[in-house]
Structure 1
Amino acid sequence: MSSPPLKLDTPRLAVLHEAYRDAVRAKRWRSVLIAVCVAVGIAVSAVSAEVDLGKLFTNIDKFSSYIGRLFVLESGQMVWTDPVEWYWGLQRWLSLLGETLLIAYVGTALGAAAGIVLAFLAASNVSPHPVVRAVTRRYLEFCRTFPQLVFALIFVIAFGLGPLPGVLAIAIHTMGALGKLFFEVVENIDMKPVEGVAATGASWPAVVRIGAFPQVLPNFVSYTLLRFEINVREASVMGFVGAGGIGQDLIEAIRKFYYADVSAILVLIIVTVALIDFGTERIRHRLIDAGTSA
């Protein structure tokens, strides 16, 4: 038989109710304090960044009118009424778009390969020495600290205009970003296979290759595909600083007010990125499902 419910006397029940109300009141005050701090932070940031809401609402129509002009040909017709005129430079744009994809692909491949090696040096559970781990982590932090456009601008000055600066910029930033993700994956592996290989007297590279790498390979591929999606978008604007790709013609069209050309190039980029996102997402989901079922 179940025991009867516990009955509390009125004074004790009143004390519990008061304690509950105090806890709820304290939680509400914390929420209010956090909200006030966030509001103050936004206000200070807005003042520091010279955000002018009056100017924003006064000129908002210029933004909408610019978007409208993007879909009007020089003849005054809408762009979809004359696709041949709209995409007059399709052959050149496709060539530059292919260059953009190659920049993203090569940069991602180089960055991922370097990130894999550095990840095992930075992971606390398999790194050969604490000093090596610390130095590698600081190096990865440096690589992902600066935006890719900054690296691209530096390499353009060093190597001149073209796709090479874009490849190097993407590779370095990808190495830093993926290296961090990779070593976090390595730190969560099952150490029993690693310890078993190490017990045979194998060298450190052999221990990593046989005991650790097979466990993390699906996650490494998944993260690399995700990074490739990001790098395709990043490579699309590398031409802004002369690092090759479709961004070269895009920034020129923007500066010269070739509105229809801007919209044509943007549509090509959006469609390409969407297709790549869809394809890599399907592959990543299959890899994750395979890893889960295994």
Structure 2
Amino acid sequence: MRGLTPLSPEREAALSGLYAAATGAARRRTLAGFALVAALALVAGLVAEVRPLVFAENIGKFTAYIQQILPPISLEHPLEDVRSWYWGLPKWLGLLGETLLMAYLGTLLGGLAGFALSFVAAANLVRSRLLRVGAKRLLELCRTVPEVVFALIFVIAFGLGPMVGVLAIAIHTTGALGKLFSEVVENIDMRPVEGLSASGATWVQTVRFAVLPQVLSNFASYALLRFEINVRGAGVMGFVGAGGIGQEFLVAIRNFYYADVSAILVLIILTVFCIDLATERVRHRLIGAEQAR
């Protein structure tokens, strides 16, 4: 190109050497990273006793079980076969409704607790390091212990029933949503906060009028996503005596009621599928409204 001074052969060779050294170092770091990941995967597989050959040899048992739980629906009288397959539909729908209410109430209680703690755990709103650290450690405790463990503890304390599932889901949801909410709060525009603080507003007033308008749509989106997760989690709560459809599902598995296992499983899958679609649309509308502002 005109106007460009050509490099001397020595300078060109030096720059080419530097470029080759830099690309070579980057390539070696990438290969080292892949090697480390592969080595860790191998160690994890050995510790977890992952045996591909055993898996391949016994995969037939899994497919055989799937064949056993599939209902015998014939072309001659399919409606009668489906009615026979779903003989317990009214009872199962009642238990499924109980599961959904457990997930809803647990999400609501946990969301409210996480909502309150998120502002205390946000570094840009609370100056007291002790208060922030205490709130964050509490949220970590709530989300670190699995829901099933909480449910087992509550079963021992309060006995069997849906209340156990609600409490377990609420505590775990508090930790999960509290962390997500606090991260949203820490990424807000601080200019409205500084303006209200300078005008003499209290901390609560600052949160109400400067913070909430910026975070409510994201809060609602995360809460809906958590509700989807809790619906699936509430189904498992029945395995430890927390009520809902999970308890009936476990009874069917233990007693080898193969047709009931597939019927309940399909019912749970369809319910979760419908809830996922509905909440996904609501989340997209909330995110779209936030981006349009």
TM range (shorter): over 0.9
Deviation of the 1:199 alpha carbon: 3.0
Q: Which aligned pairs between 1:201-220 and structure 2 lie closer than 5 A?
A: 201-220=200-219
1:236 is aligned to: 235
1:11-26 matches, cutoff 5 A: 11-26=10-25
Q: 1:114 to 1:79 in 2, by over 3 A?
A: farther
Percent identity for Structure 1 against Structure 2:
57
Q: Is contact 2:71–2:85 with CA below 8 Å preserved after alignment?
A: no
Shift of 1:191: 1.9
Which whole-Å CA distance do the structure 2 matches of 1:64 and 1:182 have between them? 43
| 2:42 corresponds to | 43
Query: Could you say if the C-alpha distance between residues 9 and 78 of structure 1 is closer, same or farther in structure 2, counting changes exceeding 3 Å?
Result: farther
**Residue 111 of structure 1 pairs with residue 110 of structure 2:** yes
Structure 1 distance, partners of 2:127, 2:215, is 18
Q: Which residue of 2 aligns with 1:252?
A: 251
Could you say which residue in structure 2 is the equivalent of 1:68?
A: 67
Residues of 1 paired with 2:253 and 2:82: CA distance? Answer: 20
Q: Distance in 1 between matches of 2:193 and 2:147?
A: 36
> Partners of 1:182 and 1:162 in 2: how far apart?
30
3-state SS of 1:184 partner = helix
Q: Deviations over 1:40-74 (max 9, x none)?
A: 21221122112222211111111111112121349
Q: Distance in 2 between matches of 1:132 and 1:79?
A: 63
Q: Which amino acid aligns with 1:270?
A: I
Whether contact under 8 Å (2:71, 2:262) holds in the other structure is no
Deviation of residue 261 (structure 1)?
Answer: 0.9
Asked whether the equivalents of residues 239 and 245 of structure 1 are also in contact (C-alpha less than 8 Å), the reply is yes
Conserved? CA contact 2:73–2:82, under 8 Å: no
TM-score under structure 2 length normalisation = 0.94
More divergent stretch after superposition (18-27 vs 81-90): 18-27
Q: Are 1:72 and 1:79, in contact at CA under 8 Å, matched by a contact in 2? A: no
Q: Distance in 1 between matches of 2:263 and 2:213?
A: 44
| Distance across 2 between alignment mates of 1:69 and 1:19 | 65
Alpha-carbon contact 1:79-1:260 (below 8 Å) kept:
no
Alpha carbons of structure 1 residues 173 and 80: separation in structure 2 relative to 1, 3 Å: farther
In the alignment, structure 1 segments of 5+ residues that lack a partner are none
Q: Quick one: distance in 1 between partners of 2:220 and 2:142?
A: 20
Match of 1:87 in 2: 86
Superposed structure 1 runs of 4+ greater than 3 Å apart: 72-75, 77-81
The SS at the match of 1:237 is helix
Q: Which residue of 2 aligns with 1:288?
A: 287
Q: CA deviation at 1:151?
A: 0.8
**Distance in 2 of aligned mates of 1:74 and 1:213:** 54
* 1:32 paired residue number: 31
- Return the offset for 1:128: 5.4
Give the drift of 1:138: 0.6
What is the aligned partner in structure 1 of residue 190 from structure 2? Answer: 191
Distance between the aligned counterparts of 2:98 and 2:208, measured in 1? 34
CA–CA distance in 2 between the matches of 1:129 and 1:20? 49
Alpha-carbon contact 2:139-2:178 (below 8 Å) kept: yes
Q: Distance in 1 between matches of 2:35 and 2:191?
A: 50
What amino acid does structure 2 have at the position aligned with 1:250? F
Give the alignment's TM-score, normalised by structure 1: 0.93
- Tell me how far apart the structure 2 counterparts of residues 142 and 244 of structure 1 sit (CA, whole Å): 25
| Contact 1:73/1:79 (8 A) holds in 2 | no
Q: 1:163 to 1:78 in 2, by over 3 A?
A: farther
Residue identity opposite 1:234 in structure 2: G
* Shift, 1:145, TM fit: 0.4
Q: Over aligned residues, Cα RMSD in angstroms?
A: 2.0
The amino acid that maps onto 1:85 is: S
Change (3 A) 1:106 1:78: farther
AA aligned opposite 2:62 = F
Note closer, same or farther for the CA distance 1:104–1:196 as it changes in structure 2 (3 Å cut): same
Alpha-carbon distance in structure 2 between the residues aligned to 1:168 and 1:33: 46
Equivalent AA in structure 2 for residue 285 of structure 1: H
Q: Per-residue CA shift, 1:166-210, capped at 9, x if unaligned? A: 001111111100001101111111222222332343332222112
Q: How many Å separate the matches in 1 of 2:100 and 2:78?
A: 26
Aligned to 1:126: 125
- In structure 2, distance between residues paired with 1:67 and 1:195: 61
Question: Which amino acid letter does the alignment assign opposite residue 138 of structure 2?
Answer: Y
CA positional deviation for 1:291 = 1.0
